[in-house]
Amino acid sequence: MHTLGDIAKTINAKLVGDSNVEITGVASSLYANQTQLTYIVNGKYKQTLIHSKAGVVILNKDLLINCPTNALVVDNVYLAFAKATHLFKKQTVCYHGIHPSAKINNAKIAPNCIIGKNVTIGNHCIISSNVVIEDNVTIGNYALIQPNVSILEGCSIGDNIVISPGVVIGSEGFGNAQDQQKHWHSIAHLGYVVIGNNVSIGANTTIDRGTIEDTQIHNGVRIDNLVHIAHNVIIKQDSAIAATVTIGGSCTLGKRCMVGGGATITSHVNLADDIIITGASTVDKNLSEQGHYTGFTSISKHQKWKKIQVWLLNLDKIVHYLNIKLKKLKEK
Amino acid sequence: MHTLGDIAKTINAKLVGDSNVEITGVASSLYANQTQLTYIVNGKYKQTLIHSKAGVVILNKDLLINCPTNALVVDNVYLAFAKATHLFKKQTVCYHGIHPSAKINNAKIAPNCIIGKNVTIGNHCIISSNVVIEDNVTIGNYALIQPNVSILEGCSIGDNIVISPGVVIGSEGFGNAQDQQKHWHSIAHLGYVVIGNNVSIGANTTIDRGTIEDTQIHNGVRIDNLVHIAHNVIIKQDSAIAATVTIGGSCTLGKRCMVGGGATITSHVNLADDIIITGASTVDKNLSEQGHYTGFTSISKHQKWKKIQVWLLNLDKIVHYLNIKLKKLKEK
Amino acid sequence: MHTLGDIAKTINAKLVGDSNVEITGVASSLYANQTQLTYIVNGKYKQTLIHSKAGVVILNKDLLINCPTNALVVDNVYLAFAKATHLFKKQTVCYHGIHPSAKINNAKIAPNCIIGKNVTIGNHCIISSNVVIEDNVTIGNYALIQPNVSILEGCSIGDNIVISPGVVIGSEGFGNAQDQQKHWHSIAHLGYVVIGNNVSIGANTTIDRGTIEDTQIHNGVRIDNLVHIAHNVIIKQDSAIAATVTIGGSCTLGKRCMVGGGATITSHVNLADDIIITGASTVDKNLSEQGHYTGFTSISKHQKWKKIQVWLLNLDKIVHYLNIKLKKLKEK
């Protein structure tokens, strides 16, 4: 908990409001309540600001007139928000083997595991060697967690889950704000990873926690090895993600999607239900219609490829040239 | 070991045969012997079925007439097979530091390592910290295994091997069968990873075990960091695989192949000996002739690329349009 | 330390010079001093050889006449060099929990960590569970090192660093020399990884040490999850590398570059300052002008993509065909 006075000092903001108000956390502008901090980056969100129920809003001075609550006025809103998040980050490092407050039921726990405070593990779970489970993690029944897995603070996992070796769940999202000198300031990610039932996760896969809200993996999802799932991704029921797929921040994948190995889905992309992506494809836009999609260059002999690339990188010129030629011929 | 009666019950099949027959494992339809279970997905494999020496075959009722042995009749063969595999999966979790049955010879073993039952480690091996080696693993002479490596049940590794930190060997393959509700059911992978002599494996690389037969890495192979090698891949002698390469399930790479960093080889692709793949390429078909192959889009200025993509995604239309134009001109 | 006599025997070279000269290490041909070994692969570097101050140079017999110092004459210089590097490699495996010679100041160290000889850790550091820090590593103030991280021999890290779970720093580079039988011989990488201040590194990312000189990550760099940074890469101040990016050996990225998720930068590529690379792009050449660059195939419906690929892979033929057609029409 931090007073507005403290927060203003930390993020170097001008406080317009009551410096004694206490803030317990961060929320998005639509959902923030009177004990929470939020931010409005620009005038596009003016209506949200006007109806805000937040305890305090970080904003620019030109939006101050629209702020119905306490305001923290700054030049660089996103940077100030990034700094503020660190005030609410729980720094969790476990200094015990199995913490006495952990409820591990009849879980079989192999040597060298670390189980944090207030961890709850359901029945019939197997936790293999060298696994680290940080504070406040919840795991359902019949989990199999293989060696060298790290599950970080507060994440929750359903029943019948298999987590392969080396998996990381709840790592920080890749969100950074730039200051005037172009230095990066990381955003402390305050959301969790929430994983449903009947999910399997492949070796050395990483799943980042959400910025404010949670990263979500729904029931029945299958994830292969070395997959990257960024902050605030939502993968819906029964989707399958093959190896080394990259899913950028805030993507949503519908139900029963299948993404082939090596594909990249760029940030903020939404896939409808029942989308199939061929492996190695790049998904750089929303796909709202079910079906099978592909996007990569097929393999060919290197010498042939070199010629093709010359034409491809000049395709724009070629088409224009042909059009002119054709026009001239027509006019002859 | 499971009786056919038990197996029929577990996979919800109609047994045609002797419910007391005992089955000890799973094999592919060509190789299954009288103590093994196999499956035939469709009529394409009728000849294999007719000559099967398996103890029992999972199949559809329309193939029953061709079955020379006990049969487990189901609607969804692949799903039934997926369920059956779990009966034969050894669940190995090590609850000791170094198990007394492990033969570790003069290996130097750093703190916090876990060495399972019946593990054999050759002479002059170094096992660094926090390494987990599960039951029945065999490692040859002069191995260097770096920190935080996981080598799972039953895998075998030759002489003179270097395994970098964070590597996972023997993780489950990504094989799943779908039921009528489109829920996924994982196949328990019963094969191993078999690695030859003089192999090096880079940091955080993952190598999946085979479904029934083994994933194989032959002598002299070099593998870089963050590489994914799926189930049943075979990489032949002296091939070199650079970082972040994805090799899909059941691929075979010939001798002395070189695959550049970031390349993706889709599933079921065969490369002949002496194939060179440029980094970042996608290999989406068999390559049977030695040589140098490439397939990706070269980098260009973003604005130029945007124009190129417009034409590229309309290349089909453009070529047709040009053909029509040319035809018309010719007819003038 | 090794005498020239010993080195000649190990790499099977003809020594021209004093077999009692003692060599303490390896350096590049430009910088090697009288206690160091270097190598000259071919006549292109004749001028460097003529001015060499090295204690000994590995070379072919046709360059012997230009060698101003001791020479190790071999047929395959690169292979001989690869073999020589292993003489100077420090094999570091830690057989203690926290070594008594480690200076850990007020660092908080979680259970099951391994801290090697002569490690120095600054003030206010937090080392989470199951972290392995090998001999001679230096870490600055205010580090947060998360679970299951491996930091290998001799690497150094500045102040205010965050290292996410599963990261590997200082793994061997992927450098191998081929002998006549096409067998690979690894080069022992003798450089380190040197990381500046205010750097963050995402989960399961791997950073290889340099071959002779160091891999460098400068101040303020942000690196996301599952990124591969090869040997001798230099990433300059305030650059940001998103998830699953592959950066090949000896690349240099300028200041304030931003590389999107899933991009591949092939080996020996230089990027100027302020370069932006769209995610999933392949960077296969130097980019010397600041700006935004892209290179991949956009996603489309699979059936459409198949048609496009047919034309694309025949683009060379199409352009030639059209040119001929146009010429003929013109001549009509």
Question: For chain C, what's the residue count?
Answer: 332
Q: Which positions in chain C touch B293 (Cβ < 8 Å)? A: none
Do the Cβ atoms of B202 and C206 come within 8 Å? Answer: yes
Residue B247 neighbours by CB under 8 Å, 6+ apart: B227, B228, B229, B230, B233, B235, B241, B253, B259, B265
Does the predicted TM-score (pTM) go above 0.90?
Answer: yes
Q: From CA C24, how far away is CA A63, in angstroms rounded? A: 66
User: Tokens representing A4?
Assistant: 């507005």
Q: From CA A58, how far away is CA B43, in angstroms rounded? A: 67
C-alpha distance from A225 to closest chain C C-alpha (Å): 11
Do the Cβ atoms of A293 and C302 come within 8 Å? Answer: yes
Neighbouring subunits of B (3+ Cβ pairs under 8 A): A, C
User: DSSP strand E in A182-322: where?
Assistant: 184-186, 193-195, 200-201, 206-208, 215-217, 222-223, 228-229, 234-235, 240-241, 246-247, 252-253, 258-259, 264-265, 270-271, 275-277, 282-283, 291-294, 300-301
| Pairing relationship of beta strands C70-73 and C14-16 according to DSSP bridges | antiparallel
Alpha-helical (H) ranges within A108-152 are none
The pLDDT of C128-139, averaged and rounded, is 97
Distance of CA B36 to the CA centre of its chain: 21
Average pLDDT across chain A, whole number: 96
Q: Which positions in chain B touch C174 (Cβ < 8 Å)? A: 202, 222, 224-225, 242-243
Q: Are C16 and C51 in contact (CB under 8 A)?
A: no
Q: Which of A206, A283, A308 faces C315 most closely, judged by CB atoms?
A: A308
Q: Which of A293, A325, A329 faces C299 most closely, judged by CB atoms?
A: A293
pLDDT at A332 over 70: no
* Model ipTM value: 0.96
Helix or strand (DSSP H, E) at B108:
strand B108-109
Per-residue pLDDT of A259-283, as tens digits, reads 999 999 999 999 999 999 999 999 9
Per-residue pLDDT of B28-72, as tens digits, reads 999 999 999 999 999 999 999 999 999 999 999 999 999 999 999
Substitution target from B93, B182, B278 for chain A, most A beta carbons within 10 A? B93
State the pLDDT at residue C155.
98
Q: From CA C128, how far away is CA A299, in angstroms rounded? A: 45
pLDDT at B332 over 70: no
State the pLDDT at residue C332.
66
pLDDT at B330 over 80: no
Q: Which positions in chain C touch A282 (Cβ < 8 Å)? A: 262, 279-280, 296-299
Q: Which positions in chain C touch B202 (Cβ < 8 Å)? A: 171-172, 174, 206
Model confidence at C329, pLDDT cuts 50, 70, 90, reads confident
By C-alpha distance, the chain B residue nearest C306 is B316
Average pLDDT across chain C, whole number: 96
C-alpha distance from C168 to closest chain B C-alpha (Å): 7
Q: Candidates 3.30.70.260, 3.40.1390.10, 3.40.109.10, 3.75.10.10; correct CATH number of A2-88?
A: 3.40.1390.10
Q: Which positions in chain B touch C226 (Cβ < 8 Å)? A: 204, 226
Instruction: Please report how many Cα atoms fall inside a 13 Å half-sphere around the Cα of residue C162, on the Cβ side.
Output: 19
pLDDT at B247 over 90: yes
| Pairing relationship of beta strands A114-115 and C22-23 according to DSSP bridges | unpaired
pLDDT at A319 over 90: no
By C-alpha distance, the chain A residue nearest C323 is A322
State the pLDDT at residue C47.
96
C-alpha distance from A159 to closest chain B C-alpha (Å): 14
Do the Cβ atoms of C165 and A244 come within 8 Å? Answer: no
Alpha-helical (H) ranges within C12-158 are 46-50, 77-85
Query: Could you tell me what percentage of chain C is helix, strand and coil, using 3-state DSSP and rounding each to the nearest 5?
Result: 20, 30, 55
| Pairing relationship of beta strands C228-229 and B162-163 according to DSSP bridges | unpaired
Q: How many CB pairs under 8 A join B and C?
A: 205
Q: From CA B226, how far away is CA C226, in angstroms rounded? A: 7
Q: Which of B108, B200, B301 faces C293 most closely, judged by CB atoms?
A: B301
Do the Cβ atoms of A282 and C297 come within 8 Å? Answer: yes
Do the Cβ atoms of A299 and B281 come within 8 Å? Answer: yes
C93 vs A302, more confident = A302
Q: Which positions in chain C touch A109 (Cβ < 8 Å)? A: none
Q: Which of A261, A299, A316 faces B295 most closely, judged by CB atoms?
A: A299
Which range (A20-29, A128-137, B101-110, C315-324) has the least confidence? C315-324
The pLDDT of B81-102, averaged and rounded, is 94
Q: Are A144 and A157 in contact (CB under 8 A)?
A: no
C-alpha distance from C280 to closest chain A C-alpha (Å): 6
Do the Cβ atoms of C298 and A295 come within 8 Å? Answer: yes
Q: Which positions in chain C touch B148 (Cβ < 8 Å)? A: 130, 132, 148, 150, 166, 168
State the pLDDT at residue B28.
94
The fourth-level CATH superfamily of domain B93-166 is Hexapeptide repeat proteins (2.160.10.10)
Do the Cβ atoms of B313 and C318 come within 8 Å? Answer: no
State the pLDDT at residue B2.
97
C-alpha distance from B167 to closest chain C C-alpha (Å): 10
CATH class of B170-190+205-296: mainly beta
Dihedral (C-alpha) A294, A299, A302, A305: value to the nearest 10 degrees? -40
Which range (B84-88, B90-94, C86-90, C110-114) has the least confidence? B90-94
Domain pair B93-166 / B170-190+205-296, same fold: yes
Average pLDDT across chain B, whole number: 96
pLDDT at C326 over 80: no
Alpha-helical (H) ranges within C16-61 are 46-50
C-alpha distance from C29 to closest chain A C-alpha (Å): 33
Do the Cβ atoms of A300 and B294 come within 8 Å? Answer: yes
C-alpha distance from B35 to closest chain C C-alpha (Å): 41
In 3D space, the residue among B244, B213, B251, B212 whose CA is nearest the CA of residue B230 turns out to be: B251
Active site residues of B: 231
The pLDDT of B197-205, averaged and rounded, is 98
DSSP class of residue A64?
A: G
Do the Cβ atoms of B130 and A128 come within 8 Å? Answer: no
State the pLDDT at residue B296.
97
User: Tokens representing A223?
Assistant: 């994830």
pLDDT at A331 over 80: no
By C-alpha distance, the chain A residue nearest C311 is A308
Burial of B323 (0-12, 13-18, 19+ CB in 10 A): middle
The fourth-level CATH superfamily of domain A108-293 is Hexapeptide repeat proteins (2.160.10.10)
Q: What are phi and psi of B245, to 5 degrees?
A: -70, 140
Neighbouring subunits of C (3+ Cβ pairs under 8 A): A, B
* Tokens 């029943």 found at: A159
Residue C188 neighbours by CB under 8 Å, 6+ apart: C82, C85, C86, C88, C89, C172
pLDDT at B189 over 90: yes
Q: From CA A201, how far away is CA C39, in angstroms rounded? A: 47
User: Tokens representing C310?
Assistant: 């047919």
Instruction: Render A159-220 in DSSP notation, one character per residue.
Output: SS-EE-TT-EEEEPP--EEE-TT--EEEPPP---EEE-SS-EE-TT-EEEPPSSS-EEE-TT
By C-alpha distance, the chain B residue nearest C129 is B130
Q: What percent of chain C has pLDDT over 70?
A: 100
pLDDT at C214 over 90: yes
Catalytic position from the list A231, A292, A302, A320? A231
Q: Where do the structural domains in chain B lie, given as residue ranges?
A: 2-88, 93-166, 170-190+205-296, 302-331
Substitution target from A79, A153, A245, A264 for chain C, most C beta carbons within 10 A? A264
Do the Cβ atoms of C128 and A130 come within 8 Å? Answer: no
Q: Which positions in chain B touch C97 (Cβ < 8 Å)? A: 111
Q: From CA C97, how far away is CA A326, in angstroms rounded? A: 78
Dihedral (C-alpha) A219, A222, A228, A229: value to the nearest 10 degrees? -10
Q: From CA B225, how far away is CA C261, in angstroms rounded? A: 17
State the pLDDT at residue A316.
83
Q: Which positions in chain B touch C112 (Cβ < 8 Å)? A: 112, 130
Do the Cβ atoms of A224 and B308 come within 8 Å? Answer: no
State the pLDDT at residue A34.
96
Q: From CA A240, how far away is CA B332, in angstroms rounded? A: 56
By C-alpha distance, the chain B residue nearest C297 is B297
C-alpha distance from C300 to closest chain B C-alpha (Å): 8
Catalytic position from the list C2, C185, C218, C231? C231
Do the Cβ atoms of C294 and B313 come within 8 Å? Answer: no
* Tokens 């008594």 found at: C100
Q: Which positions in chain A touch C204 (Cβ < 8 Å)? A: 166, 168, 204, 206, 226
- In the beta sheet, which residues pair with residue C151? C133, C169
Q: Are B278 and B292 in contact (CB under 8 A)?
A: yes
State the pLDDT at residue A318.
82
Q: What percent of chain C has pLDDT over 90?
A: 91
In 3D space, the residue among A33, A34, A41 whose CA is nearest the CA of residue A18 turns out to be: A34
State the pLDDT at residue B323.
79
